[in-house]
């Protein structure tokens, strides 16, 4: 069998291919369904078991040799026909489809850029979190009713430590405080998950950017000025904000922040519920208990935190009135953002 293979190697090497007719003859003789190679592979079953591996390798090499010779001559014989085709260089070129960045990613980049101008770094963390980083370190004890404020996707971890898809990017802030000494000035952009009904104003997953600033003598006035700066950089110098008292387990005092509605210029529309204002974020001074749980001396340091939904900011910036459009991948919608930042 080995001698037969070696003779076919010599035969293939000496086979003369000068035109398409001889090329086809070569293909039929060696590579066709009734060719010599198929017959040889059929004879492999009669080879003794101890020789099958060596004979099989020789057969594979023979087939590769035949295929390489066929393909190289086919390319050579086809090329003159291709090169002879005339090209009309005076014809106008075809327009290429130009892609675009997703509007949420455009706004995410803009938010990061705005805060980077005043010294904020970017921190990221895992989307699947343990209870400590998602709840407990943020002043959510097991029996705390505030846990019910966020419908959580819990993950079966085979009886091990309970895990969940993060309900906010505050979990990233906890990781930063555990591993970095003040001063801390960072933002945490990322995707979060909550078990909510999907509608024009809500979704089961969305994107957040949360900010954290910890240093000595940080005040609520610093927080308000930072948020006003952000609103005017994002929505224009005429943008105004208002703060309403609120409650979050990890900040005290806490506030909700509204921005003047850019869709109706504060005149009132269905998006702002005819109030002229739209809620864009929550904020507050970091609770001392949160600082202490992360190993930061609350008597020496203070800080503020804030969190905003990127979908809501994008809705205001581009006057999009349905949050579902962001995740439906409708090309007609996405094409409107071609050429964006």
Q: What is the C-alpha separation between 66 and 37, in angstroms, rounded?
A: 9
**212 and 267 both lie in a single domain:** yes
- Decide if 268 is inside a domain: yes
Domain stops at, among 72, 93, 113: 72
CA atoms within 13 A on the CB side of 27: 11
Q: What is the pLDDT of residue 127?
A: 82
Question: Which band of pLDDT confidence, cut at 50, 70 and 90, is reported for residue 251?
Answer: very high
Q: Does residue 283 belong to any structural domain of this protein?
A: yes
261 and 177 within one domain: yes
Mean pLDDT of all residues in 76-99: 68
pLDDT number for residue 80: 53
Residue 183's pLDDT band (cuts 50, 70, 90) = very high
Res. 144 pLDDT band, cuts 50 70 90: low
- Supply the range of the domain harboring residue 8: 2-72
Do 186 and 332 fall within a single domain? Answer: yes
Averaged over 257-281, what is the pLDDT? 83
Indicate whether 41 pLDDT > 80: no
List C-alpha distances in Å: 60 to 50, 54, 98, 124. Answer: 17, 10, 46, 51
> Number of structural domains, the chain?
2
Alpha-carbon distances of 31 from 47, 71, 220, 248, rounded to whole Å: 22, 12, 81, 74
Question: Could you tell me if residue 284 is left (phi over 0), alpha (psi between -120 and 50 degrees) or otherwise beta?
Answer: left
Confidence of residue 8 (pLDDT cuts 50, 70, 90): confident
3-state SS string for 171-228: HHHHHHHHHCCCCEEEEEEEEEECCCCCCCCCCCEEEEEEEEEEECCCCHHHHHHHHH
Taken in order 292, 298, 302, 304, the sign of the CA dihedral is: positive
Q: What is the mean pLDDT of the chain?
A: 83
Are residue 290 and residue 196 in the same domain, yes or no?
yes
- Tell me what pLDDT residue 123 has: 93
For residue range 195-205, list pLDDT tens digits in order: 777 776 667 88
Query: Whole-model pTM?
Result: 0.65
C-beta neighbour count of 136 within 10 angstroms? 15
CA distance 21 to 26: 9
Beta pairing class for 184-193 and 121-122: parallel
Q: What pLDDT is attached to residue 211?
A: 95
150 pLDDT higher than 60: no
Query: For residue 93, is it within any domain?
Result: no
Q: Quick one: average pLDDT of 1-29?
A: 81
- Shared-domain flag, residues 278 and 181: yes
Backbone angle region of 254, left / alpha / beta, with phi > 0 → left and psi within -120 to 50 → alpha: beta
pLDDT band at 79 (very low <50, low <70, confident <90, very high): low
| CATH number of the domain to which 202 belongs | 3.30.930.10
């Amino acid at each position: 069998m080995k001698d037969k293979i070696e003779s076919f190697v010599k035969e293939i090497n000496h086979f003369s291919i000068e035109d398409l007719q001889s090329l086809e003859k070569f293909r039929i003789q060696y590579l066709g369904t009734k060719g010599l190679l198929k017959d040889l592979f059929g004879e492999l079953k009669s080879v003794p078991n101890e020789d099958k591996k060596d004979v099989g390798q020789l057969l594979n090499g023979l087939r590769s040799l035949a295929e390489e010779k066929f393909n190289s001559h086919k390319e050579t014989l086809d090329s003159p026909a291709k090169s002879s085709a005339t090209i009309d260089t005076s014809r106008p070129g075809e327009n290429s489809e130009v892609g675009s960045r997703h509007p949420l990613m455009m706004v995410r980049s803009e938010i990061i850029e705005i805060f980077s101008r005043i010294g904020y770094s970017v921190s990221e963390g895992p989307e699947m979190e343990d209870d400590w980083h998602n709840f407990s370190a943020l002043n959510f004890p097991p029996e705390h009713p505030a846990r019910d404020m966020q419908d959580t996707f819990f993950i079966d971890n085979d009886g091990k430590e309970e895990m969940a898809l993060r309900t906010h990017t505050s979990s990233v802030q906890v990781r930063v405080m555990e591993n970095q000494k003040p001063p801390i000035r960072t933002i945490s952009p990322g995707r979060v998950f909550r078990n909510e009904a999907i509608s024009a104003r809500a979704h089961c997953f969305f994107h957040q950017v949360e900010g954290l600033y910890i240093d000595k003598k940080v005040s609520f006035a610093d927080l308000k000025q930072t948020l006003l700066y952000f609103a005017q950089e994002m929505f224009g110098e005429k943008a105004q904000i208002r703060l309403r008292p609120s409650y979050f387990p990890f900040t005290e005092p806490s506030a909700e922040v509204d921005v003047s509605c850019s869709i109706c210029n504060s005149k009132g529309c269905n998006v702002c519920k005819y109030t002229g204002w739209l809620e864009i974020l929550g904020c507050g001074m970091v609770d001392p208990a949160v600082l202490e749980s992360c190993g930061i001396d609350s008597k020496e340091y203070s800080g503020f935190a804030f969190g905003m939904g990127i979908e809501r900011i994008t809705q205001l910036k581009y006057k999009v009135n349905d949050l579902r459009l962001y995740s439906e991948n409708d090309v007609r919608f996405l094409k409107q953002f071609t050429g964006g930042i």
